[in-house]
A and B are shown apart, each in its own frame.
Chain A
């Protein structure tokens, strides 16, 4: 399995608080992605990165920001969490733009 670690694995927090999720890879892959998964919606792309300091928006980017200061880490930040951001968040990596994406085990985030 691809070396992807997501942290934390579970988090419960309150509305209005900032939250940062971390994705760490040991594969030295160029591309990294953040998805969220909700019942009835499948997986939806939030943001992705195609290199250090190179990021772009996905289909559901409102309320989220990302940073990638080094190859191995991709951070997802909710500046002011809302209940609608309660979800399971998955990080993925890929070696090339048509290479398969490999997913982490997910972070279950609950915002009360």
Chain B
């Protein structure tokens, strides 16, 4: 599985968009990008995933660069409840079942 690199921490003003970057320069063509977050000591919460195209759901948008070497998770209107650790993970589309969690980005949304 490709390794990911994320900034250790970020701040964002409440109501503004939070843009969380992830570098996965060794990603291969059949590896998906997944984003999760973990609030306090709760279990990780799935946010979104994608392979090549940009994706959007009710929680966030995922922008994947054309060369797939990096991606950005966008929370369009951050709230205090979005304060969490955000993990970017890449894994094969099939044949392996595990995620490799890095240390993630600690996002703090400021009032």
Chain A residues near B (Cβ < 8 Å):
31, 33, 40, 42-45, 48, 50, 56, 58-59, 88, 90, 92, 94, 97-98, 100-106, 108
A98-B32, A100-B34 known; A31-B46 Cβ under 8 A: no
Residues of chain B with a CB closer than 8 A to A31's CB: 97
**Most B-side CB within 10 Å, residue of A42, A44, A103, A106:** A42
**Count the A-B residue pairs with Cβ separation under 8 angstroms: how many?**
53
Docked complex Cα distance between A101 and B68 (Å): 22
Chain A's closest residue to B45 (CB) is A103
Instruction: Contact check, A43 vs B99: say whether CB atoms are below 8 A apart.
Output: yes
Instruction: Contact check, A97 vs B99: say whether CB atoms are below 8 A apart.
Output: no
Instruction: Contact check, A42 vs B43: say whether CB atoms are below 8 A apart.
Output: no
Stretch from B7-15, B18-26, B72-80, B100-108 that touches the partner: B100-108
- Contact residues on B (Cβ < 8 Å of other chain), bracket: 20 to 34
Instruction: Contact check, B41 vs A88: say whether CB atoms are below 8 A apart.
Output: yes
Chain B residues near A (Cβ < 8 Å):
32, 34, 41-46, 49, 87, 91-99, 101-104
Docked complex Cα distance between A13 and B32 (Å): 40
Docked complex Cα distance between A102 and B95 (Å): 19
Instruction: Contact check, B93 vs A44: say whether CB atoms are below 8 A apart.
Output: no
Extra contacts, 13 of them, besides A42-B103, A103-B45 (Cβ < 8 A), are A33-B97, A42-B104, A43-B101, A45-B99, A48-B98, A56-B97, A90-B44, A92-B43, A97-B94, A102-B46, A105-B43, A106-B42, A106-B43
Residues of chain A with a CB closer than 8 A to B87's CB: 42
Docked complex Cα distance between A31 and B95 (Å): 13
A42-B101, A42-B103, A44-B101 known; A105-B34 Cβ under 8 A: no
CB distance from B88 to the nearest CB of A (A): 12
Residues of chain A with a CB closer than 8 A to B45's CB: 103
A–B complex contacts, Cβ < 8 Å, 30 sampled: A33-B98, A42-B87, A42-B104, A43-B99, A45-B99, A48-B98, A50-B97, A88-B41, A90-B43, A92-B43, A92-B44, A94-B97, A97-B94, A97-B95, A97-B96, A97-B97, A98-B32, A98-B91, A98-B92, A98-B93, A98-B94, A100-B34, A100-B46, A100-B49, A101-B99, A102-B46, A103-B45, A105-B42, A105-B43, A106-B41
